[in-house]
Amino acid sequence: MKAPLSVKKLLGIFLKRGKEKLRRKGDLERALGIKVRNEAYFSEALRHRSALSMPSNGGKNSNERMEFLGDAVLNLLVAEILFERFEELDEGQMTRLRSLLVNQHALAERAAAVNLSDFLMMSNSAHQTIEKGYETIISDAFEAVVAAIYLDGGLKAAKAFVLDKVMPGEFRIDREMFKALDRNFKSALLELSQGRGLGAPRYNLIKEEGPDHDRTFTVEVLVNETRYGMGSGKTKKAAEQAAAEQAYESLKDEKGID
């Protein structure tokens, strides 16, 4: 059995890589507008599971656990900020507004704004999915980064990041956003799909997770037998609305209408 590396040898290895590592750390700090103290958190947050089999991979965990934590932190902080800023909103409106701010598409846009994909460790094939417009990898990484910031600097640091990158100071709820908050996306999708001659959307329950007192439902919606959206929620109705919203935006954009 080989003897473990001494601290001196480990330090030597680190110093050999230090220049490149420090440069990337500095780039990441500037991109995110934060100060990194424990690099291990961010290394894990930026490691897609496709990188685990790569020879250059320096860790054993992908960012999936960090994504789980980041999702919870992000939802908590966005809810807190909405509660503090917008006294005129009721519970239902705050819930819908939060879903507009932290859904996959919105987070992918935030990730793109800070060029997060430049820092991800992943395989070439995974990188190509981002280039083709698939948003899951990059939005999940954004949530993982939120977790890294929370673990590295606490809730205060994570909230500062959310305020800066997700809900900046100039963030306002305009008339169009209020329309979106009050829109019934199942009805809107039905109207759009029937108007295109595609028939009525069909909703399928994909899975149920969690204990009986805290279930999460995942639903897909098919339009003309093609999946256009998928959503999750604490009730089937909420999951269907989330799926319908995604499908409505996809179908609308597909035809380039307003």
Active site residues: 71, 143
SS3 209: strand
**Distance between terminal CA atoms of the chain?**
67
| Centroid of chain to Cα 246 | 14
Return the CA Rg of the chain. Answer: 21
CA angle 122, 136, 111 (to 5 degrees): 80
Strand ranges inside the chain, DSSP E? 202-209, 216-223, 226-233
Q: CA of 166: how far to CAs of 17, 50, 109, 237, in Å?
A: 33, 27, 10, 27
Q: How far apart are CA 31 and CA 249, in angstroms?
A: 29
